[in-house]
């Protein structure tokens, strides 16, 4: 087997792992869009905010310590405790549920029936507010996130591939864990939306708000539930990305990479988010490996958007999205 093919196989596997992380972010978009028709621009910032909150809780950091010290002249930064990762994740999830309730009560409850562009602009404002709130609460410095996930090269895969091809593949343990967690989450979300009363209510709300209200579905509860689940998805994505590259404000930009994923998979399909993420992850890695050297490299920055543009031209609903029918 040629060296080029072996290298391509390694790139393919790493692309699959990267695609899973893209899909995790896209899942949050799909959940909210399915239930409310809102394209949540703030999903990436939710991942950032949840990761910052998790680090702050685990390290016992005092929220708004910079503001408190500036106003009262104190020098308080930490409570003096360090919590286990499991407890920190539970408390961070509680914060995201509270945030979902506040977002619904303060913002979107008053925007029922408004044009989609107004709802979209509201999420843009929410994104900038949450980014500023995270900075004010926990500070703007880069934070290290360690919840005990394994990192570094997987020695078993390295040894196996070395024995097979005389070349060891570098596959990160964190990417493997992320793949397993994402697969479990997708299975749970699909089962939830298909087989539970709340899941069927969520789909009913997505089809027609007024019809759902007429049969007794509590619209406010459904939206709080959906934003809470999306917050949990953002927390998981934030943990994965934060563990990989540190918790920093560039983490909020992962939402931009989720846009091509949604355009490929469709805005209303949970399996589509996964398939779209895998296509983008594998596609950008292989394109960089095969074509990048011919055109100067750096193709990973734009490949996903060019591919999404082609889908918008020839199949705007995506691979799994509902066919767009215009009534005139």
Share of the chain above pLDDT 70, in %: 96
pLDDT surpassing 90 at residue 93: yes
CA distance 241 to 244: 5
What is the tens place of the pLDDT at every residue in 182-216? 778 877 877 887 788 888 887 777 666 677 777 77
Provide the 8-state DSSP code for 322.
Answer: P
pTM: 0.86
**What is the structure's pLDDT at 200?**
81
**What is the structure's pLDDT at 56?**
92
CA distance 202 to 20: 25
Task: Judge whether 320 lies within some domain.
Answer: no
**What is the structure's pLDDT at 92?**
93
For residue 316, give every residue at least 6 positions away whose Cβ sits within 8 Å of its Cβ, in sequence order, or none: 324
**What is the structure's pLDDT at 324?**
58
**What is the structure's pLDDT at 199?**
80
**What is the structure's pLDDT at 89?**
93
pLDDT surpassing 70 at residue 323: no
Task: Judge whether 102 lies within some domain.
Answer: yes
Cα torsion 265, 258, 126, 115: sign: negative
Lowest average pLDDT, out of 95-104, 127-136, 209-218, goes to 209-218
Task: Judge whether 205 lies within some domain.
Answer: yes
Cβ atoms 259, 306 nearer than 8 A: no
CA distance 207 to 204: 5
pLDDT surpassing 90 at residue 90: yes
Range ranked top by mean pLDDT from 35-44, 122-131, 241-250: 122-131
Buried-state track 283-310, b at ≥16 Cβ within 10 A, e below 16 = bbbbbbbeebeeeeeebeeebbeebbee
Task: Judge whether 325 lies within some domain.
Answer: no
CA distance 53 to 264: 32
Query: Vertex 131, ends 128 and 134: CA angle to 5°?
Result: 150
pLDDT surpassing 90 at residue 73: no
What is the tens place of the pLDDT at every residue in 158-183? 999 888 888 888 888 888 888 888 77
pLDDT surpassing 90 at residue 320: no
CB atoms within 10 A of CB 207: 9
Name the band, by pLDDT with cuts 50, 70 and 90, for residue 148.
confident
Report the chain's mean pLDDT, rounded to a whole number. 84
Provide the 8-state DSSP code for 74.
Answer: -
Task: Judge whether 75 lies within some domain.
Answer: no
Q: What is the CATH number of the domain that holds 122?
A: 1.10.3470
Task: Judge whether 173 lies within some domain.
Answer: yes
The tokens describing 191, both together, are 């089962």
**What is the structure's pLDDT at 57?**
92
Q: Which residue has 């934030």 as its token pair?
A: 238
Task: Judge whether 74 lies within some domain.
Answer: no
Q: Which residue has 């044009």 as its token pair?
A: 115
pLDDT surpassing 70 at residue 322: no
Buried-state track 39-58, b at ≥16 Cβ within 10 A, e below 16 = bbbbbbbbbbbbbbbbbbbb
Length of the chain equals: 328
Name the band, by pLDDT with cuts 50, 70 and 90, for residue 240.
confident
The tokens describing 255, both together, are 């939402």
Name the band, by pLDDT with cuts 50, 70 and 90, for residue 238.
confident
pLDDT surpassing 90 at residue 53: yes
Domain tally for the chain?
A: 1
For residue 322, give every residue at least 6 positions away whose Cβ sits within 8 Å of its Cβ, in sequence order, or none: 266, 268
Task: Judge whether 14 lies within some domain.
Answer: yes
CA 6 to chain centre: 31
The residue segments making up the domain with residue 101 are 3-69+81-314
């Amino acid at each position: 087997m040629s060296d080029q093919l072996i290298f391509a196989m390694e790139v393919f596997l790493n692309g699959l792992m990267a695609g899973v992380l893209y899909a995790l972010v896209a899942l949050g978009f799909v959940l909210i869009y399915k239930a409310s028709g809102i394209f949540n621009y703030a999903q990436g910032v939710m991942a950032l905010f949840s990761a910052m909150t998790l680090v702050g809780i685990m390290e016992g950091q005092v929220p708004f310590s910079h503001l408190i010290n500036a106003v009262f002249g104190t020098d308080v930064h930490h409570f003096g405790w360090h919590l286990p990762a499991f407890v920190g994740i539970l408390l961070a999830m509680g914060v995201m549920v509270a945030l979902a309730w506040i977002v619904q009560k303060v913002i979107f409850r008053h925007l029922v029936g408004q044009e989609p562009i107004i709802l979209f602009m509201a999420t843009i404002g929410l994104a900038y507010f949450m980014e500023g709130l995270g900075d004010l609460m926990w500070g703007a410095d880069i934070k290290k996130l360690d919840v005990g996930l394994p990192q570094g090269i997987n020695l078993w895969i390295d040894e196996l591939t070395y024995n097979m091809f005389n070349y060891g593949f570098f596959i990160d343990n964190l990417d493997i864990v992320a793949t397993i967690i994402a697969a479990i989450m997708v299975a749970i979300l699909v089962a939830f939306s298909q087989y539970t009363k709340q899941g069927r209510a969520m789909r009913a709300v997505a089809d027609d708000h007024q019809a759902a209200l007429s049969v007794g579905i509590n619209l406010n509860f459904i939206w709080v539930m959906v934003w809470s689940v999306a917050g949990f998805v953002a927390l998981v994505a934030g943990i994965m990305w934060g563990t990989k590259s540190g918790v920093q404000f560039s983490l909020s930009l992962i939402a931009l990479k989720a846009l091509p994923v949604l355009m490929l998979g469709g805005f209303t399909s949970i399996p589509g988010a996964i398939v779209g993420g895998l296509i983008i992850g594998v596609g950008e890695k292989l394109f960089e490996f095969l074509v990048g050297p011919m055109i100067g490299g750096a193709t990973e920055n734009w490949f996903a958007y060019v591919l999404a543009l082609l889908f918008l031209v020839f199949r705007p609903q995506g691979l799994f999205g509902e066919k767009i029918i215009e009534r005139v």
